[in-house]
Amino acid sequence: MRTFLTTVAVLASTAAFGQTQQIQIRATDGRETLRVRPSDCGRSLAFSWQVAGTLCDGLSLWLTRDSDCQDSASAQTTRTSLTSISLDTIRNQGGQGTSSFEASQLPFEETDGGAVCGASGQEVTFRLCGATKGADAFGTCLSSTTLKASPLKVLYDTLPPGAPSIGEVLELDEALRVTVDAPEDATRARLVVLQGDTEVTSMEQTEEQGAFRVEDLQNNVTYTLRAYSIDEADNVSEEFDEAEGTPIKTLGFYEEYRKAGGKETGGCGATGGGVAGGAVLAVMGFWLSSRRKRS
């Protein structure tokens, strides 16, 4: 009976350990991926860590180019060891906090073409790993059991996205409405408006924001519209799509209808016949054609 009770206690202790001990390493905004931009090279990159459960050792941290995190930095094929977080720090900060590493510490491999932080045309995935020792439900240190952290994916990205495509160009009064479709590897688009070789204005927005609306332009002046893609790491596409647009003077439908001889007789649904009805149709044709994209 004593042997049975001892076995039950050990099993309960192990189960409690498996259920309560968790360590996560994330970007400071909570994301599972931290993107490293060319502009990040030469500075520190912050990340957050969180511990649930009781530990009996500090949290060791390291960067690796390997596809998986091992039990320790020494077990990795490529690695850069980082400053560990002491057990006292973990306890004093309630099991959570932030730390950082230098972007220059990313352990590139020889297969990366000798790349270092700052090299262009690269997209390389690293992982920020962590490991420690935990205690069971009775406070006993499980020195033979390694508790690994849920790692942070670190993506070094200097690879530009593909070019976008300009869809519809709607010519308005002193304005243009431009639809730009960005590729899947981009998060937003940049529209540059040129008059000849001179840049008039530029703007950026996401696809969710809808079409670009460029205002304060001159009617009857042809503008060149140049669209670029931008990805999450702020890389700008090397290629672009281009179109033209010419703002035109367009009054509202009612004003054009009155100028063509129409009268207010019968409400918005009644066109009647004769001159009034014909005027409505003629004006509607002009009004719609004035907003049609020019080829």
Going from the first residue of the chain to its last (295 residues), give the mean pLDDT of each consecutive group of 10, the final group possibly shorter.
38 42 91 90 93 87 95 94 94 94 89 71 92 78 82 93 95 96 93 96 92 96 97 91 93 51 45 44 45 40
| CA angle, residues 203, 208, 213, in degrees to nearest 5 | 40
**What is the model's pLDDT at position 257?**
52
**What is the model's pLDDT at position 167?**
94
What residue has token string 């530990």? 55
Q: Are strands 198-205 and 80-85 parallel, antiparallel or unpaired?
A: unpaired
Distance from chain centroid for Cα 78: 28
Cβ(62)–Cβ(129) below 8 Å: yes
- Token pair for residue 61? 């941290």
By CB atoms closer than 10 A (0-12, 13-18, 19+), residue 11 is: exposed
> Is the pTM higher than 0.95?
no
Distance CA(292)–CA(25), nearest Å, equals 53
Of the candidates 71, 82, 132, 84, the residue with the CA atom closest to the CA atom of residue 107: 82
Residue 50 bridge partners (DSSP): 24, 96
**What is the model's pLDDT at position 108?**
87
φ, ψ for residue 274 (rounded to 5)? 65, -145
| Amino acid letter for position 33 | T
**What is the model's pLDDT at position 114?**
58
Of the candidates 50, 48, 47, the residue with the CA atom closest to the CA atom of residue 21: 50
2-157 has CATH 2.60.40.1180 classification: no
160-249 has CATH 2.60.40.10 classification: yes
| CA angle, residues 85, 130, 140, in degrees to nearest 5 | 75
Burial 132-143 (b: 16+ CB within 10 A, else e): bbbbbbeeeebe
Domain with CATH 2.60.40.10 in the chain: 2-157, 160-249
State the alpha helices, DSSP H only, in the chain.
2-20, 87-92, 253-259, 274-289
**What is the model's pLDDT at position 251?**
61
